[in-house]
Structure 1
Amino acid sequence: MSSQPRCPHCRHFVYLDTLTCPNCEGELGYNIETRLFHGVRNGRADIEGRAWYTCSNREWSCNWLVRDDAPAGRCFSCRLTRRRPAADDTVALEKLAKTEEAKRRLLLQLGDLGLPIVPWDVRKGGLGFDLISSLSDGKRVMIGHSNGIITIDLAESLDDRREALRVRLGEPYRTMLGHLRHEVGHYFQNVLLTDDDLWARCRALFGDERESYRDAISRHYKLGAPANWKESFISEYATMHPWEDFAETWAHYLHITGTLQTAAVIGINLDASVSNLRDTDVVPLESYRSEPIQRLLTDWEWMSQGFNRINRAMGFGDLYPFRIPVPVRRKLEFVHDIVTRAPLTFEEQYALAFAEEPERA
């Protein structure tokens, strides 16, 4: 995501999920090392002296390339999918394609942030995804995280179903990418909090995650959020339990940094000479790794106001319908701190992901 996606043949802009250039019709594959699209011929692309091949799930819209020394014909993203619909469940597989697109976007952002990812088939507790549908066999699928495995209900890729849930639950925002960003927060809370001091700081901000989760769920759905929740939490759901507060805050950190990065890459900024929002320019950065949280949140405050006005001009609701009170700013500062402590280069991330042979096929 840190580079502008353009067709290598005609330089036309393409979206991250593009398989064939809409301008020149050239076949494309996305390379996670170069963060660029490359031309594909007969299922192969030669990049910097190494052969890369199209993912075996390309028929289900995966446009990522697979390195020649990878342990299987699946790209890094598809390899992280532990469970998926049956091969004859074509309806669910169509929904899987859209969810996998959101997952690839998530993984690119995690890579840009330098966060460590160890696959589920390399190490117990590693990151994996069960992408299954409650519409396939009538069994309810609970979105959640357990010991590194994130479960997503593909049925929520249906706009009407997801919107009905959003309205029923009183949420201002509900997307597949949002689900993935939230659930991966549970995973990284355990990965990045590596000592007692970090856990103590986390508990001081979010509460003690060792309190009964079952009791918290019961209390939340019986009594709802506290009346003054907006003074200390980013969402009503964050009030349920310290785990959920952390995951919601983490998701918003990814929302904010991902949107600012996109704005930076395509050149969107606020020019004070023509903008009526503020008197000084706002120029978002591709990375806030070396910046204090104050710079990140100040840029976001003004850029999000601009984005909200654009949405309203089209008759939509606000792009970012949330406010960030001081206690939430402190929580975001903690997330910013743990994310930027020891970022990995892509080469280090890739070596970590393939350090061992898979334990399971």
Structure 2
Amino acid sequence: MKLFHCGRCANLLYFENSCCTQCGADLGFAPDAMELLALEPAGDDTGVAITSGQRYRLCANYRDHSVCNWLIPLDDTHAFCVACRLNRTIPDLGIPKNHGLWLRLEKEKRRLVYSLLRIRLPFGPLEEQQGGLAFDFLSDQPARFDERNKVLTGHAHGVITLNIAEADPVERERMRSEMAEPYRTVLGHFRHESGHYFWDRLVAGSAWLAPVRDRFGDDTADYKQGLDRYYQYGPPVDWQNRYISAYATSHAWEDWAETWAHYLHMLDTLETAWQFGLRVNAHGGEHPDTASDPSFDPYQTDDFDALVRHWRPLTLALNSLNRSMGHEHAYPFVLAEPVVEKLRLVHQIVHAC
């Protein structure tokens, strides 16, 4: 994730900021410029970017619900920003706790959308284009709850459904423990389900399908049987030699989605390290690290091997720092060579768009 600076006072800003903590300037993220802009109020929920003079309107979810900090160019007639117009269903705000849960969901969803914009992937609102994307944020209904009515997080026909309980850290920790998932986050869910969406958008019916099947396995195998087998017997004993996660062993589609999500993890984390000027070269090798190569942009580089070279020592540092604080590993993954080659294929497909 990029770092930003206030256009009025040059104070360091972060992606989620809506107000500069130093000078008090109103802020908004402009996806057309990919910048967090300081604004001079211009009336009628509009503002003028201090650095460029361009006028913007606040996203309706920024203005009305304070769950967004994105902007809309003044000549764009949409009420919602490019991230919020992907929403098909939002939580019932008549339930007090749902506003806080929705806020957490929106923060992580915008990180996903930021990454998709940085990679320049094709997507847009489902209601506006064939093959578009939509989000349903739903909750279980206790009054008539049984397993058949439980909201399942998943993707189907361009719609990503997320159970808003995932935004509750207590509930998510319970599910993480029950399902033996060492890494379970809201952002991870968004990235994983976007992998299913982009399978349909970039892989299915394309020239990439054959190489993806060769690397990830037979996607025509019975999906339900694969999941049932995984939940009954667990992953193969040697799964870490071939897969990024245990769940990836259940079916080729899940292997793809887990690998896709991991690729997005890598890009966003590497960009954050690059923006902070973090210097990591644990092996003392000859290759430049993220900070010493000012041209290294993880989102735009064609050099996949450079991504991996930067990634491995960074994850070692992350884990070592966490252990020094008495926490578990921040990065509980092993990048075996078959996994690296799967990530390489994802990289090739992304850069061919």
TM-score by length of structure 1 reads 0.88
Query: Which of residues 23, 43, 46 in structure 2 aligns to 1:44?
Result: 46
**Alignment root-mean-square deviation, CA:** 1.9
Residues 292 and 279 of structure 1, relative CA distance in 2, 3 Å threshold? closer
Counterparts of 2:126 and 2:206, CA distance in 1: 26
Aligned to 1:6: 5
Aligned to 1:131: 137
Query: Which of residues 256, 260, 270 in structure 2 aligns to 1:246?
Result: 256
Aligned to 1:24: 23
Counterparts of 2:306 and 2:191, CA distance in 1: 22
Counterparts of 1:166 and 1:73, CA distance in 2: 37
Alpha-carbon deviation of 1:93?
2.1
Letter in 1 for 2:90: R
Residues 7 and 184 of structure 1, relative CA distance in 2, 3 Å threshold? same
Letter in 2 for 1:207: G
Counterparts of 1:161 and 1:130, CA distance in 2: 19
Is structure 2 residue 92 aligned with structure 1 residue 86? yes
Counterparts of 1:25 and 1:51, CA distance in 2: 19
**1:293-333 Cα deviation digits (max 9, x unpaired):** 22211210111111211222222222211001111111111
What SS class does the counterpart of residue 135 from structure 2 fall into?
strand
Alpha-carbon deviation of 1:278?
2.6
What SS class does the counterpart of residue 197 from structure 1 fall into?
coil
For the 8 Å contact 1:17–1:61, the answer to whether it is kept is no
Counterparts of 2:156 and 2:198, CA distance in 1: 12
Alpha-carbon deviation of 1:132?
1.9
Counterparts of 2:61 and 2:206, CA distance in 1: 42
For the 8 Å contact 1:277–1:302, the answer to whether it is kept is yes
Aligned to 1:353: none
Alpha-carbon deviation of 1:33?
1.6
Aligned to 1:318: 329
**1:89-147 Cα deviation digits (max 9, x unpaired):** 23112201111010111111111111111211112431111112236765521000001
Residues 127 and 97 of structure 1, relative CA distance in 2, 3 Å threshold? same
What SS class does the counterpart of residue 151 from structure 1 fall into?
strand
TM-score by length of structure 2 reads 0.90
Is structure 2 residue 303 aligned with structure 1 residue 304? no
Gapped runs of 5+ residues in structure 1? 343-361
Alpha-carbon deviation of 1:197?
3.4
How many residue pairs get matched?
A: 337
Counterparts of 2:28 and 2:300, CA distance in 1: 29
Query: Which of residues 117, 120, 135 in structure 1 aligns to 2:123?
Result: 117
For the 8 Å contact 2:3–2:14, the answer to whether it is kept is no
Is structure 2 residue 212 aligned with structure 1 residue 202? yes
Query: Which of residues 161, 171, 180 in structure 1 aligns to 2:190?
Result: 180
Gapped runs of 5+ residues in structure 2? 291-295
**1:190-219 Cα deviation digits (max 9, x unpaired):** 211265531110111111111111111211
Counterparts of 1:310 and 1:103, CA distance in 2: 27
Counterparts of 1:72 and 1:290, CA distance in 2: 33
Is structure 2 residue 151 aligned with structure 1 residue 141? yes
Aligned to 1:357: none
**1:129-187 Cα deviation digits (max 9, x unpaired):** 11122367655210000011101111111111111111111111010000000000001
Is structure 2 residue 114 aligned with structure 1 residue 108? yes
Letter in 2 for 1:153: N
Letter in 1 for 2:96: T
Aligned to 2:349: 338
Letter in 1 for 2:24: E
> Which moved further from structure 2: 303-312 or 168-177?
303-312
Alpha-carbon deviation of 1:71?
3.8
Alpha-carbon deviation of 1:67?
2.0
Counterparts of 1:330 and 1:38, CA distance in 2: 39
- Give the number of the structure with larger relative contact order, counting CA–CA contacts within 8 Å between residues 6 or more apart: 1
For the 8 Å contact 1:120–1:148, the answer to whether it is kept is yes
Alpha-carbon deviation of 1:72?
2.5
Aligned to 2:242: 232
For the 8 Å contact 1:229–1:239, the answer to whether it is kept is yes
Counterparts of 2:6 and 2:141, CA distance in 1: 37
Alpha-carbon deviation of 1:61?
2.6
Counterparts of 1:260 and 1:135, CA distance in 2: 40
Query: Which of residues 64, 76, 80 in structure 1 aligns to 2:82?
Result: 76
For the 8 Å contact 1:89–1:136, the answer to whether it is kept is no
Aligned to 1:170: 180
> Which moved further from structure 2: 259-268 or 63-72?
63-72
Letter in 2 for 1:106: L
Query: Which of residues 255, 279, 297 in structure 2 aligns to 1:286?
Result: 297
Letter in 2 for 1:168: E
